[in-house]
Amino acid sequence: MTLDIPYRSIPDMFFQRVAATPDARAFGGPAPGDTGQLWLTWAETAQRASAIAAGLHRLGIRLEDRVAIASNTRLEWVLADLGVMCAGGATTTVYPTTEAADATHIVRDSGSKVVIVEDPGQIAKLTSMELPDVTHFVLIEGEPDPDATPTQLRLADLERDGAQALAEDPELVTRIVAQVEPDHLATLIYTSGTTGPPKGVELLHRGWCWQGVAQADLDILRPDDLHYLWLPLAHSFGKTLLCGMIHVGLATYVDGRLDKLVENLGQIRPTLMCGAPRIYEKVYNRVVTTAREGGGLKAAIFNWATRVGKEKVAREQAGQPVSGWLSLRHQLATKLVFSKMQARLGGRIRVLVSGAAPLSRDIAEFFAAAGLPIMEGYGLTEASAANFVNRPGQLKIGTVGRALGDLECRLDEDGEILLRGAPVMRGYHNLPEETEAAFTPDGFLRTGDIGKLDEDGYLSVTDRKKDLVKTSGGKYISPSEIEGMFKAICPYTSQAVVIAQSRNFCSMLVTLDEEAITGWAAGGRLAGKSYEEIVTSPEAEQLVAGYVEQLNARLNRWETIKKFAILPRDLTIENGELTPSMKVKRKGVEENFSDIIEQMYADSVARL
C-alpha cells in the first residue's frame, strides 16, 4: 500500500503544522545564560524561521543553493535549518568536531554559499583553506570580524534583516515556499567516512516528508509526548527525527551538551528519547558498577532483580504467559532497583529508541527488564536514516523491527540488505560512478549490511559486509558482534576493537570508561592515580582478563580472544579513530596502535 504524503516539501509540512497548532509548544532549549528553559510555540518558531529565510534570501540564497551549518545541537540549529528550508535552500551539515581538512572539503564540495557557525572557532577552522563559493559566515554566538573576507555577521542580525524584508514584502517566504517541489534537494549530509573521504548524500524533500508521515504510524511519536533531543543534528538520525516532530506536532527540548544530559533529564522529564547505543551503554555501566561496588546485600538484591527482570522478558519474547508470582517478584524488583534507574532518566520515559549502530542484545534485555524497553531501529544516511524500527508492544529483541511505511526491502544472494523507496537518496554529490555502484540495475540501494528477515518481516542485521574478516585459518569472524558482547559483559568498557583479519587468532584492543574505572579504583591502591596509571596497572589487566574469560565462554573456538591490550587512552575523533557520529574507524585504530597490535602477535603460537 502506497503511503499518502500530503506535503510538497519540508517548509510545506512545517507551515501546515503551524496552521494546525500555532499555540502549542514546539521547540525549547536553555534560556540565555542557562538560566532556565526557553520555549517557542509553533507560531513563534515560524516567525523566527521565516525571518532567517528572508535574511538568507537577501544574501542571495535561491532554490537548492547550499547553506552549511557547523554547530552543536541547539535550538538555533533547528531555527537555522528551518530558515534554510523556507528560503528554498538546501542544508549542508557539518559536525563541529570535524577536523579542518574534512570540514573544508565538505563546504567546498557542497558548493555552500553561506556557512552558519556556532562560534568564531569554526570560522578559523574553515578559513584555513580557500572556499571560493562562500560569501558569508553567520555566527550563532560571538562577535563577527568587521574586516574579514568573506563577510561575517551574527545570526541575530540576519534574523533582524529578514524581519525588515518581511515588513516590506510580507508574502516573500510564502512565494518561495510555493516553488519548492518534492524532487528538489533539501539536505546534503556527508557520510562519516570510516573507510575513505566523506561523500555527500543528496536527500530530497519528498524523502524527508515521507519520513515524517511514516514515523507517525509507529506509536513511537505522539502529540502529547515531550521529546528530549541531544543527538547531533549533523547526523541523519537527528534530521529525520525533526521531520517526525513537525508532522506529529510534539514538543521537543533541544540541548546537545552531553555533560548536561543527566541534569537535564531530571529537569525536563521527557517521555521520549532517542540515542545511539553508546548513551545506553554508559547508563548500563553506571548502574551495574554502582551496584557491584556497593557489595554485600545491595549487590545481591541487584543481581536478583536483574534475574527476575530477564526471566520476565524471556517469557514475553517467547510469547509465553507471565505468571502472577513472576509479576509480583518483578514489581518488587522494580520498587527496590529498577525505579532508581527509571528516575535517572527523568521518571516519565514512555519510549526509548536506539539507532546509528548495533545495540548489544544483553543491554537491550537489561533495559527491557528494568521496564525501559529500547525500540532498536536501523537505517542509512543514504535512505534518510529511519528504515526499520521496533514498535512499542511489538518488540523483538535482537532485531531492528519492521520496515517503515511502504519501503521495499529484499536480501541479495549474499544476504546484503537492499532498499527501494521514497526516502532513498538521489545519489552522491558530484560522484556519478559511486552513485551508479550504490544501486542495483532495478533501483535498489545496496546498504553494505548483511541481514536476515523473519516470517513477520523483522530484520536482523548481522554485520557490515565489509567488516566481516577472515582469519589465516579460513574462518569468518564478525568483530562488531564480539565487541558488542564484550561491552555488555564488562561494564567498565568504553570501546573494544577486535583484530582478526588474516591473523592466526583473534585479539582485542580495549579502552576503559574513565568515570567507571576511576570509581572502581577508589578506596584501593590506585585511588587518586591518573587515568593512564589506572588502566595500565596489573589490577586493571586482571579485571579485564576476567571479563575476557567470560566472553570467551560464549564464543566459538575460532572466535575466542587469545590476547588483549588495554590502551592508555580512549579513542578520539581528533586522532582519526572515531567518526563524528562515534563509530570506530578500524583503519585509524590499527594504524595508531600498530605497535601494540604487533606486540600481541609477536612470537605467538596459538592453537586454533
State how beta strands 37-41 and 459-464 pair: unpaired
Comparison of pLDDT for 579 and 525, the residue scoring more = 525
d(CA 459, CA 452): 6
pLDDT of residue 198: 82
Nearest to 93 by CA among 178, 192, 183, 4: 192
Q: What mean pLDDT is reported for the chain?
A: 91
155, 140 Cβ separation under 8 angstroms: yes
Q: How far apart are CA 473 and CA 412, in angstroms?
A: 27
Residue 469 has pLDDT above 50, yes or no: yes
Tell me the HSE value of 177 on the side-chain side, using a 13 A CA sphere: 23
Sheet of 25-30, strands arranged across:
37-41, 25-30, 251-254, 226-229, 272-275, 351-354, 374-378, 388-389, 402-403
User: CA 576 → CA 97, 234, 583, distances in Å?
Assistant: 11, 18, 11
Query: Is residue 142's pLDDT more than 80?
Result: yes
Please write the tens of the pLDDT for every residue from 358-391: 888 888 999 999 999 999 999 999 999 899 999 9
The amino acid at residue 89 is G
Domain 10-206+216-271 has CATH 3.40.50.980: yes
User: Cell match 609477536: residue?
Assistant: 602
CA angle 287, 293, 294 (to 5 degrees): 90
- pLDDT, residue 606, reads 39
pLDDT digits (tens, 9 = 90+) for 318-333: 999 999 999 999 999 9
Hey, what's the cell of 412?
Answer: 541479495
Confidence of residue 116 (pLDDT cuts 50, 70, 90): very high
Peptide bond into 423 cis (omega under 30): no
- Comparing 261 with 170, which gets the higher pLDDT? 170
Burial class (CB in 10 A: 0-12, 13-18, 19+), 119: middle
Q: How many CB atoms lie under 10 A from the CB of residue 371?
A: 17
Task: List, in order, residues 6 or more apart from 40 with CB less than 8 Å away.
Answer: 25, 26, 27, 28, 48, 75
3-state secondary structure 44-71: HHHHHHHHHHHHHHHCCCCCCCEEEEEC
Torsion sign, CA atoms 243, 183, 64, 56: negative
Q: Considering only CA atoms, which of 602, 601, 514 is closest in space to residue 561? A: 601
Q: What is the pLDDT of residues 199-234, one digit of tens each?
A: 999 999 999 999 999 999 888 999 999 999 999 999
What are the Cα distances from residue 441, in Å, to 293, 416, 426, 430, 446?
57, 15, 15, 20, 11
- Cα separation, 101 vs 108, in Å, equals 10
User: What mean pLDDT comes out for the span 515-529?
Assistant: 88
Give me the residue spans of the domains in the chain: 10-206+216-271, 275-347+349-466, 468-601
Q: Which amino acid is at 481?
A: E
Residues 478-496: what's their mean pLDDT? Answer: 89
Q: Is the pLDDT of residue 53 over 50?
A: yes
Which grid cell sits at 167?
Answer: 515588513
Name the β-bridge partners of 498. 508
Model confidence at 608, pLDDT cuts 50, 70, 90, reads: very low
| Residues whose CB is less than 8 angstroms from the CB of residue 168 and which lie 6 or more positions away in sequence, other chains included | none
Q: Say yes or no: domain 275-347+349-466 is CATH 3.40.50.12780.
A: yes
- Read off the pLDDT of each residue in 544-552 and give the average, rounded to a whole number: 94
Distance between CA atoms of 28 and 25, rounded to whole angstroms?
Answer: 8
Residue 230 near residue 73 (C-beta atoms within 8 A): yes
CA–CA separation, 585 vs 608, rounded Å?
Answer: 28
Per-residue pLDDT at 195? 55
* CA pair distance 118, 96, nearest whole angstrom: 8
- Residue predicted with more confidence, 446 or 556: 446
Residue 118, helix vs strand vs coil:
coil
pLDDT of residue 192: 67
Helix (H, G, I), strand (E, B) or coil at 550: helix
Pick from 75-84, 449-458, 481-490, 590-599 the range whose average pLDDT is largest. 75-84
Measured in residues, the chain has a length of 608
Rounded mean pLDDT, 108-117: 96
pLDDT exceeds 60 at position 236: yes
Express each pLDDT in 283-337 by its tens digit: 888 888 888 777 788 889 999 999 999 999 999 999 999 999 999 999 999 999 9
Euclidean distance between CA atoms 217 and 326, whole angstroms: 33
What tens digit of pLDDT does each residue of 404-435 get? 999 999 999 888 999 999 999 999 999 999 99
Domains 10-206+216-271 and 468-601 share a fold: no
What fold characterizes domain 468-601? GMP Synthetase; Chain A, domain 3 (3.30.300)
Residue 607 confidence (pLDDT): 36
Residue 605: predicted pLDDT = 43
Residues 6 or more apart whose CB falls under 8 angstroms from that of 19 comprise none
The kind and range of the H/E element at 275 are strand 272-275
- Virtual torsion, Cα 154, 160, 164, 166, nearest 10 deg: 100
Locate 400 and state its grid cell.
Answer: 531492528
Whether the per-residue pLDDT at 20 is higher than 60: the answer is yes
Confirm if 131 and 116 have CB atoms less than 8 A apart.
Answer: no
Q: How far apart are CA 186 and CA 204, in angstroms?
A: 5
Neighbours of 188 (CB within 10 A): 24
Cell numbers at 456, concatenated: 513477520
Which of the listed ranges 48-57, 376-385, 590-599 does the model predict with the highest average pLDDT?
A: 48-57
Query: 520 with 492: CB under 8 angstroms?
Result: yes
